[in-house]
Amino acid sequence: MRYRLLTIALLAFAGTAAAEIYKYRDLDGRIYFSDKPMKGDYKLLWRSKSIGEISSYPPPGVTQPGASRGWDPVKYRLNKERYSPIINEAARRVRLRPELLHAMVKAESGYDPGALSRAGARGLMQLIPETAKRYGVKDISDPYQNVDGGSRYMRDLLQMFGFDLTLALAAYNSGENNVKKYANQVPPFPETQVYVKKVLEYYTENRIATAGKEKTASLTMTN
C-alpha cells in the first residue's frame, strides 16, 4: 500500500477570530486539511484560542542536569537561529511543514540541544533511547541526527494515525501504544494533553508568522 506523505497546507489565518483545523477525506481517500469546513466527510480536529491569545505556553526552561531551569531568551534566540537550518532541512526531507517541526522542538526542548527529561529523553526533539535505536540514530545528542530521527518518527506517526495531527502528537509524547490503548483518542495523561495543545498553539503561531512574511514579501515584489 502506498502512503502519501503529509504536507499540511493550512490557509493563512486573518483577523482575531479563533483558528480551526478541519480534516477532510475525499471520495478517493485523499486527506486534506483546511481552516474552513467543506462539504463531505470532514471533522474538526482542533480549535485554537483567538489569535491574540496564542503563545499562552512559554518555552520550556533549560533541562540539563544541574543547570538553571529559568528561561534564557538570549540563549533561546541563538539556539533557534543556529538549529533552524537543520530543522527546515529535516522538514523538507520528510515532507512536513517546517512550522510543525519548529513547534515540536520549541515544546520539547526550547531549542536546547542538551535538554534532558526525567524520563531520559534527550536533545532538540527529546528522543528516548528506544526510539533513537529504532530510527538508526547513533548519537542522540547530535542535533542533526536527533532532528532527523524525530522528524521521521513524526512522519510515521501521522501515517499510522490516518494523518490525524492531534493523535500523532499525542503518540509522539506518550507512545503510539498508549494512543491505541485508549481507542485512538488522546490518552488521559495531563502531560500529553497539555503537550498536544501547546504544540498546536505554537504551530498556529508559526503559520501566522510565515503567512505574514509571505504577504510582506509579495508586497515588495515588482513586475
- Which residues are identified as catalytic? 108
Question: Which ranges of 110-189 does DSSP label H, i.e. alpha helix?
Answer: 129-134, 143-160, 165-174, 176-181
Q: Which residue type sits at 174?
A: S
- Distance, in Å, from the CA atom of 188 to the CA atom of 13, rounded to the nearest integer, reads 30
**Neighbouring C-beta atoms of residue 26, cutoff 10 Å:** 12
The answer to whether 146 touches 169, Cβ cutoff 8 Å, is no
Residues with Cβ within 8 Å of residue 107, at least 6 apart in sequence: 57, 60, 195, 198, 199, 202
Q: Is 41 helix (H, G, I), strand (E, B) or coil?
A: strand
